[in-house]
């Protein structure tokens, strides 16, 4: 009977876990839909800005301070994770990639100064405890991401690059593809690298620039960088909720399978106990007859 009690306890525990994971999946699904609508609404705007930027010829000397491609001695890594866990390998993949980039710049490129800005508590906690050079943490950006707050951080990074505090800025995050797939991405944010491929030249639109290319470029580059940074945050949020929804679905399915096995074990143990009791009764009866 002790075995039956143990199995009943496990059935109750797994059943409670199944209810929790199922509820978390529904919550993540609601958040995922909002995040998905936000990133899908942002992408056409960001893509149009990039298309306009590609149409402006920067190969004839029309550049901005954000195009300054100098010797890399100071590097900034912007690492975007989530504030919460229970989303599979979402955070661990970003942390592994960020650690690999740190090792690359430290061991191979021998940069003089490597700093990091973390967005998301998982990255802040991991790199903060391991004495990485984390200069800023902006975990609150993920709670209610607004363009103004994200643009303010992007402006600070852009200004630091223009002041030559950093020679290169990289973004490490999960790009949203769909609810099941997240693409681990490492992108160079600064300096801006203009597209020079023949395909871009062939598709270039014939714009009339007023007042001129240089003035438009100086206005367009910061705007494009802000929108790109905001898109990265929205991408990460949508990918996070998709990963958590998928993880909770798998956890619920695993709990369902485990419940089936436990109930089968419980029924077998119960039948064995009943059989033993019947055997004992029959044996006692036969002994009394003798």
Q: Is residue 6 part of a domain?
A: no
Q: Residue 66 belongs to what domain range?
A: 27-245
Lookup: tokens for 228: 């790109």
Kindly report, residue by residue over 160-173, the tens digit of the pLDDT.
999 999 999 999 99
Percent of the chain residues topping a pLDDT of 70: 92
Rounded CA separation 225/46 (Å): 9
**How high is the pLDDT of residue 142?**
93
**How high is the pLDDT of residue 271?**
86
What would the mean pLDDT of 259-268 be, rounded to a whole number? 90
Q: Is residue 44 part of a domain?
A: yes
What number of residues does the chain have? 290
Q: Is residue 154 part of a domain?
A: yes
Q: Is residue 190 part of a domain?
A: yes
Give the closest residue to 122 by CA, choosing from 139, 136, 146, 145.
Answer: 139
Q: How many domains does the chain have?
A: 1
Q: Spell out the residues 6+ positions from residue 280 whose beta carbon is closer than 8 angstroms to its own.
A: none
User: What is the CATH classification number for the domain harbouring 178?
Assistant: 3.40.1380.10
Give the pTM: 0.86
107 versus 214: the higher-pLDDT residue is 107
CB 22 within 8 A of CB 256: no
Which pLDDT band holds residue 206 (cuts at 50, 70, 90)? low
Which pLDDT band holds residue 144 (cuts at 50, 70, 90)? confident
Q: Is residue 59 part of a domain?
A: yes
Rounded CA separation 241/245 (Å): 6
| Candidate list 77, 79, 80, 87, residue with the active-site label | 87
**How high is the pLDDT of residue 198?**
47
Kindly report, residue by residue over 27-47, the tens digit of the pLDDT.
999 999 999 999 999 999 888
Mean of the per-residue pLDDT values of the chain: 88
Q: Is residue 250 part of a domain?
A: no
Identify the bridge partners of residue 155 per DSSP, sorted by sequence position. Answer: none
Which pLDDT band holds residue 281 (cuts at 50, 70, 90)? confident
Q: Is residue 57 part of a domain?
A: yes
Percent of the chain residues topping a pLDDT of 90: 62
**How high is the pLDDT of residue 62?**
62
Give the closest residue to 33 by CA, choosing from 243, 242, 269.
Answer: 242
| Catalytic-residue membership of 162 | no
Kindly report, residue by residue over 146-202, the tens digit of the pLDDT.
999 999 999 999 999 999 999 999 999 999 999 889 999 999 999 988 765 544 455
Over 68-120, what HEC string results? Answer: CCCCCCEEEEEEECCCCCCCCCHHHHHHHHHHHHHHHHHHHCCCCEEEEEEEC
Q: Is residue 263 part of a domain?
A: no
């Amino acid at each position: 009977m002790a075995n039956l009690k143990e199995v009943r306890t496990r059935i109750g525990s797994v059943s409670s876990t199944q209810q929790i994971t199922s509820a978390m999946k529904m919550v993540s699904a609601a958040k995922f839909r909002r995040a998905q609508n936000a990133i899908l609404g942002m992408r056409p705007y960001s893509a149009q800005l990039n298309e306009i930027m590609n149409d402006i010829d920067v190969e004839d000397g029309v550049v901005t301070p954000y195009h300054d491609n100098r010797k890399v001695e100071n590097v900034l890594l912007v690492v975007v994770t989530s504030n919460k866990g229970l989303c599979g390998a979402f955070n661990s993949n970003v942390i592994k990639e960020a650690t690999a980039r740190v090792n690359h710049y430290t061991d191979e490129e021998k940069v003089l100064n490597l700093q990091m800005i973390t967005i998301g508590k998982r990255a802040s906690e991991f790199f903060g405890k391991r004495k990485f050079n984390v200069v800023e943490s902006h975990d609150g950006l993920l709670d209610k991401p607004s363009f103004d707050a994200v643009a303010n951080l992007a402006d600070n990074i852009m200004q630091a690059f223009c002041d030559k505090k950093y020679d290169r800025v990289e973004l490490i995050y999960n790009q949203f593809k769909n609810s099941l797939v997240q693409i681990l991405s490492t992108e160079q944010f600064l300096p801006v690298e203009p597209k020079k491929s023949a395909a871009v030249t062939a598709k270039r639109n014939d714009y009339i620039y007023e007042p001129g290319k240089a003035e438009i470029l100086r206005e367009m580059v910061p705007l494009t960088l802000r929108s790109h940074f905001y898109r990265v945050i929205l991408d990460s949020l949508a990918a996070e909720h998709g990963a958590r929804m998928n993880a909770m679905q798998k956890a619920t399915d695993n709990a369902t399978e485990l419940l089936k096995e436990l109930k089968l074990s419980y029924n077998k143990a119960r039948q064995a106990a009943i059989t033993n009791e019947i055997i004992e009764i029959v044996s006692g009866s036969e002994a009394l007859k003798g």
